[in-house]
């Protein structure tokens, strides 16, 4: 088990192996200030290192998911002299390293969006494996309106939406509703309001926790390699992973199936259990 104390900018709690991380800076609409990103990175580190973690859920406090970069801190970056290692570029790339770790987590990442996901906030959603949102949620790549670009989130936006939709949203700064975001493939399922969103999240976590946690940790990295690695080597590794899973959780899963009982890892969530 890992230390979950000492968080000041996000609320982090654990519910039956699921890490629930809530951005908790509503006065800035949960903007991604450096200290917020640092705490998110700590939460990702817990999910990376603790094999009992089954998923990471990201959401925002105050009815707003995330406003993206903290524009208030941009001036201080501009005031720093540009050198061979431009501090603006260095800070930007630091956020990209966090995004790479988030997307590469071996456990499912779920983004739960109310209010709006703007700029980097939309990037967080694009790096997730499942995105749930209210119908009136808003999504936008808002950077070009400020004269900057969605630099470090670009690969994750393209991976989620495809190049054509990423060009449309990025070049025109279009703000899309939850239903339009679902049509683009950004949102997986919509809820009518916040209460329905909690119930929807509980349903998906219940589905998740019907699956063996170790098998999920083996599957997600394997799927990331598909289409990238040579098939023969990939399938060799897949066979070894299959055997390892069979000899661990597979024995319990097969026994539960034969005995017509829930497997030991199953858990049912309620809306109250996941509510911020």
> Annotated catalytic, 15?
no
Q: How far is C-alpha 186 from the geometric centre of its chain's CA atoms?
A: 12
Whether 165 and 184 have beta carbons less than 8 Å apart is answered as: yes
CA distances from 79 to 33, 73, 82, 246 (A): 17, 10, 9, 57
| DSSP output for 212-255 | -HHHHHHHHHHHHHTTTS-HHHHHHHHHHHHHHHIIIIIHHHHH
Scanning the chain, the segments in alpha helix (DSSP H) are 34-49, 74-79, 87-103, 120-127, 154-161, 163-172, 178-184, 194-208, 213-225, 231-245, 251-259, 271-274
Burial of 83 (0-12, 13-18, 19+ CB in 10 A): exposed
- In the set 48, 94, 114, 143, the catalytic residue is 143
Contacts of 114 (CB under 8 A, 6+ apart): 59, 60, 63, 64, 65, 133, 134, 137, 194, 197
Whether 170 and 70 have beta carbons less than 8 Å apart is answered as: no
**Cα–Cα distance between 92 and 235 in angstroms, integer?**
37
CA dihedral sign, ordered 100, 104, 105, 109: positive
Active-site positions? Answer: 143
């Amino acid at each position: 088990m890992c230390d979950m104390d000492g968080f000041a900018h996000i609320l982090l709690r654990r519910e039956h192996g699921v890490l629930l991380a809530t951005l908790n800076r509503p006065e800035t609409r949960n903007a991604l200030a450096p200290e917020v990103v640092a705490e998110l990175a700590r939460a990702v580190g817990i999910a990376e290192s603790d094999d009992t973690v089954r998923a990471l859920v990201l959401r925002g406090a105050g009815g707003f998911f995330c406003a993206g970069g903290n524009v208030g801190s941009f001036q201080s970056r501009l005031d720093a002299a540009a050198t061979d290692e431009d501090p603006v570029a260095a800070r930007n790339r630091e956020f990209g390293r966090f995004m790479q770790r988030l997307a590469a987590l071996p456990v499912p990442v779920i983004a739960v969006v109310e209010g709006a996901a703007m700029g980097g906030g939309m990037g967080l959603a694009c790096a997730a494996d499942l995105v749930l949102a209210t119908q009136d949620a808003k999504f936008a790549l808002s950077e070009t309106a400020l004269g900057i670009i969605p630099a470090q989130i670009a690969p994750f936006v393209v991976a989620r939406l495809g190049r054509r939709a990423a060009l449309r949203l990025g070049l025109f700064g279009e703000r899309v509703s939850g239903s339009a975001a679902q049509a683009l493939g950004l949102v997986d399922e919509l809820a009518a309001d916040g209460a329905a969103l909690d119930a929807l999240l509980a349903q998906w976590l219940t589905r998740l926790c019907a699956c063996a946690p170790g098998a999920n940790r083996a599957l997600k990295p394997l799927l990331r390699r598909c289409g990238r690695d040579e098939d023969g080597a990939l399938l060799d590794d897949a066979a070894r992973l299959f055997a390892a899973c069979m000899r661990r959780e597979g024995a319990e899963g097969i026994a539960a199936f034969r005995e017509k009982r829930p497997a030991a890892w199953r858990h049912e969530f309620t809306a109250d259990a996941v509510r911020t």
